[in-house]
Amino acid sequence: MKTRLKALCASLTLVPMLAGASLAPYSPVTDARLTKPEAGNWLMYRGNYEGWGYSPLKQITNQNVGKLVPAWSYTTGMTEGHQAPPIVNNGYMYVSTPNNQVIALEAATGKELWRYKKTIPDELMQLHPTNRGVALYGDKLYLATTDAFLVALDAATGKELWKVPVADWKKGYYMTLAPLAAKGKIMVGSSGGELGIRGFIAAFDADSGKEAWRTYTIAGPGEAGSETWPGETYKTGGGSVWITGTYDSQTNIAYWGVGNAGPWMPDTRPGDNLYANSTIALDVDTGKIKGHHQYHWNDAWDWDEVSAPLLIDLEHKGKKFKSLVHAGRNGYLWLLERTQDKVNYVDAWPYVTQNVFTSLDPKTGRPTYDPKRIPGTGKKTDFCPSLWGGKDWPPEAYNPQTGLLYIPANNNLCSELTGEPVKYKAGSLYIGVSLDNILTNVRMTEKSRQHIGEVQAWDLKTGKKVWTHTYPEMNWGPLMTTAGNLVFGGGTNDRMFRALDAKSGKVLWETPTPSGVTGVPSSFEVDGEQYVAVQSGWGVDAQRMQGAFDAVLDHKTVVPQGGTILVYKLQK
Q: Catalytic residue numbers?
A: 302
What is the per-residue burial (b if ≥16 Cβ within 10 Å, else e) of 122-143?
eeeeeebbbbbbbbbbbebbbb
Centre a 10 Å sphere on the Cβ of residue 389 and count the other Cβ atoms it contains. 24
Q: What is the DSSP string of 399-464?
A: ETTTTEEEEEEE-S-EEEEEB------TTS---SB-HHHHHT-EE--TTTTT--EEEEEEETTTTE
Q: What is the DSSP letter of 236?
A: G
Determine the residue type at 375: P
User: Do residues 257 and 392 lie in contact, with contact meaning Cβ atoms separated by under 8 Å?
Assistant: no
Q: Could you give the 3-state DSSP secondary structure of residue 306?
A: coil
What is the per-residue burial (b if ≥16 Cβ within 10 Å, else e) of 398-431?
bbeebbbbbbbbbbbbbbbbbbeebeeeebebbb
User: Do residues 295 and 389 lie in contact, with contact meaning Cβ atoms separated by under 8 Å?
Assistant: no
CA 170 – CA 197 distance, rounded (Å)? 11
Residues facing 131 on adjacent strands: 82
Find out whether the peptide bond into 430 is cis, omega within 30 degrees of 0. Answer: no
Strands laid side by side in the 112-117 sheet? 87-89, 92-97, 101-106, 112-117
Q: What is the DSSP string of 113-179?
A: EEEEEPPPPTT---SS-EE---EEEBTEEEEE-TTSEEEEEETTT--EEEEEE-S-GGGT-B--SPP
CA 530 and chain centroid, separation = 25
CA 493 – CA 542 distance, rounded (Å)? 9
CA 56 – CA 545 distance, rounded (Å)? 34
User: What residues contact residue 471 under an 8 Å CB cut-off, 6+ apart?
Assistant: 451, 452, 453, 454, 491, 492
- Tell me the helix, strand and coil percentages in the chain, rounded to 5: 10, 40, 50
- 56-to-17, 62, 380, 411, 417 alpha-carbon distances in Å: 33, 14, 49, 30, 44
Q: What angle do CA 72, 73, 74 make, to 5 degrees?
A: 135
